[in-house]
């Protein structure tokens, strides 16, 4: 029995007539203390998957189970770090984190909650920005506040939705190391969503590619047996790393059926003439059958 388990989950949006299927038949089992990275194209449904794990949206079919129990709505035991930080702009760094701490540890005395809040602000190196508002912080600092807020809730599962995608490469590297360090210290279960295979391999125990949408699904996971702590400078020359990266990229490219475009056009029988597409369509100059009954349809599949 895995700790966090998704089985046969599908999710789509919109009313039945114009339904957009996003995720189809997802299966994933995550062990306690495992660090899993999900890599996928943008728009594949990664945020949707995270919302399912967090309980913010309910699956259309299938189940999401945490520690053997089916999930009922969101809760602080699954800490979600939102893709766009989602800090409350009218609260300072301290107040943003404290709001979460007050909520989760409501039974503790005030002094203890303040100490707890300050400890987690210190953990992400933001003690000096304690009383600043999100608008005064850089993107990387905001993301760290968001991480601190989530970690301070002491979640059983840490869900990171593209936490570093919006950041510049240098900040990104620093925060990757910080995430690795925090995970080494706390050993909570982590699900990291990213669009960067290198980031996934650097941080995770297992990389699970999400195929291209619509109807995206999870490809078989790729275990990352690299020793920790992993050094980003050495890892680039590591042949094992290169081989793993090829495997991930290969899986992303080949997994699932490539989308095909079907063109359907009208043909006029018996004399089929090549159509002059450059000729503009107008009411007086229609392309179409001269007589009813002469119309036939032909479908052509075009590679994207």
Partner 1 sequence: MSNSTLPTILTAQPAETGKPAAGTPAAAPLPPPAGRTTRDWSRLVKLDWLLLPAVGLAAVVVMWFILSATLSKDLPNPTRTWESSKPYVVEPFSYRGELDQGILRFTWLSLVLVAKGYVIALALGTPLGFLLGLSKMMTKMLDPIIQILRPVSPLAWLPLGMVLFLGAGKQASELAALFTIAICAMWPTVLNTAVGVRAIPQDYLNVAKVLKLSRWKTLTKVMIPATLPYMFTGFRLSLGIAWLVIVAAEMLTGRPGIGGFLWQQYNALVYEQIILCILTIGIVGFILDRLMSVVERRFKTA
Ligand X SMILES: Nc1ncnc2c1ncn2[C@@H]1O[C@H](COP(=O)(O)OP(=O)(O)O)[C@@H](O)[C@H]1O
* Interacting residues with partner 1 (CB under 8 A): 54, 56, 73-76, 78-80, 82, 84, 86, 88-90, 99-100, 103-104, 133, 153
Q: Which residues from 126-185 bind ligand X, rule CB under 6 A?
A: none
Partner in contact with 129, chosen from Mg ion, partner 1, ligand X, none, beta carbon below 5 to 8 Å by kind: none
Binding letters toward Mg ion, positions 29-68, x by CB under 5 A: -----------------xx---------------------
| Separation of CA 207 from chain center | 12
**Cβ atoms within 10 Å of 124's Cβ, excluding its own:** 24
- The whole-angstrom separation of Cα 35 and Cα 286 is 60
- Residue 84, CB-side half-sphere exposure with 13 Å CA sphere: 4
Task: Say if residue 229 is preceded by a cis peptide, omega within 30 of 0.
Answer: yes
The alpha-carbon radius of gyration of the chain (Å, integer) is: 25
Nearest approach, Cβ of residue 18 and ligand X (Å): 10
Comparing CB distances to Mg ion, the nearer of 129 and 190 is: 190
Does 13 engage in binding with ligand X (CB under 6 A)?
yes
Both tokens assigned to 194 = 């990213």
Partner in contact with 147, chosen from ligand X, Mg ion, partner 1, none, beta carbon below 5 to 8 Å by kind: none
- Residue 85, CB-side half-sphere exposure with 13 Å CA sphere: 21
Q: Which residues from 25-54 bind ligand X, rule CB under 6 A?
A: 40, 42-48
Comparing CB distances to partner 1, the nearer of 56 and 166 is: 56
Does 84 engage in binding with ligand X (CB under 6 A)?
no
CB neighbours of 65 closer than 8 A, spacing ≥ 6?
A: 4, 5, 6, 7, 71
Comparing CB distances to partner 1, the nearer of 88 and 267 is: 88
What is residue 67's DSSP assignment? T
Does 92 engage in binding with Mg ion (CB under 5 A)?
no
Partner in contact with 12, chosen from partner 1, Mg ion, ligand X, none, beta carbon below 5 to 8 Å by kind: none
- The whole-angstrom separation of Cα 125 and Cα 180 is 15
Nearest approach, Cβ of residue 244 and partner 1 (Å): 33
Nearest approach, Cβ of residue 115 and ligand X (Å): 36
Partner in contact with 22, chosen from ligand X, Mg ion, partner 1, none, beta carbon below 5 to 8 Å by kind: ligand X
What residue spans of 31-168 are helical by DSSP H? Answer: 46-54, 93-104, 110-123, 139-152
Comparing CB distances to ligand X, the nearer of 47 and 92 is: 47
Whether 48 contacts 54, CB under 8 Å: no
Nearest approach, Cβ of residue 249 and Mg ion (Å): 20
Both tokens assigned to 116 = 């707890």
Nearest approach, Cβ of residue 240 and ligand X (Å): 28
**Residue in 164, 157, 149 with CA at minimum distance from that of residue 188:** 157
Residues of this chain that interact with ligand X (CB under 6 A) are: 13-14, 20, 22, 40, 42-48
């Amino acid at each position: 029995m895995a700790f966090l388990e998704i089985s046969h989950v599908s999710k789509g949006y919109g009313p039945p007539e114009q339904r957009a299927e996003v995720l189809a038949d997802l299966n994933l089992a995550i062990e306690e203390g495992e660090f899993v990275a999900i890599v996928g194209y943008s728009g594949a449904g990664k945020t949707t998957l995270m919302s399912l794990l967090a309980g913010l949206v309910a699956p259309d079919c299938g189940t999401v189970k945490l520690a053997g129990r089916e999930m009922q709505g969101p809760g602080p035991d699954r800490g979600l770090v939102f893709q766009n930080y989602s800090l409350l702009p009218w609260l300072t760094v301290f107040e943003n984190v404290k709001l979460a701490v007050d909520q989760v540890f409501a039974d503790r005395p005030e002094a203890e909650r303040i100490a707890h809040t300050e400890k987690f602000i210190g953990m992400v190196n933001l003690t000096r920005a304690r009383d600043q508002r999100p608008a005064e912080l850089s993107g990387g600092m905001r993301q760290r506040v968001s991480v601190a807020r989530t970690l301070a809730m002491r979640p059983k599962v840490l869900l990171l939705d593209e936490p570093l995608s919006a950041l510049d490469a240098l900040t990104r590297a620093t925060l990757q190391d910080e995430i690795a360090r925090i995970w080494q210290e706390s050993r909570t279960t982590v699900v990291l969503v990213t669009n960067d295979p290198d980031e996934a391999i650097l941080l995770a125990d297992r990389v699970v590619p999400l195929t291209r949408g619509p109807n995206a699904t999870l490809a078989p996971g790729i275990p990352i047996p690299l020793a920790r702590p992993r050094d980003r400078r050495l890892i680039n020359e590591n042949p094992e790393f290169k081989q793993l990266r090829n495997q991930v990229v290969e899986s992303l490219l080949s997994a699932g059926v490539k989308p095909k475009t079907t063109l359907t056009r009208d043909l006029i029988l018996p004399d089929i003439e090549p159509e002059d597409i450059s000729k503009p369509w107008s009411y007086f100059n229609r392309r179409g059958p001269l007589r009813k009954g002469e119309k036939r349809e032909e479908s052509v599949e075009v590679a994207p």
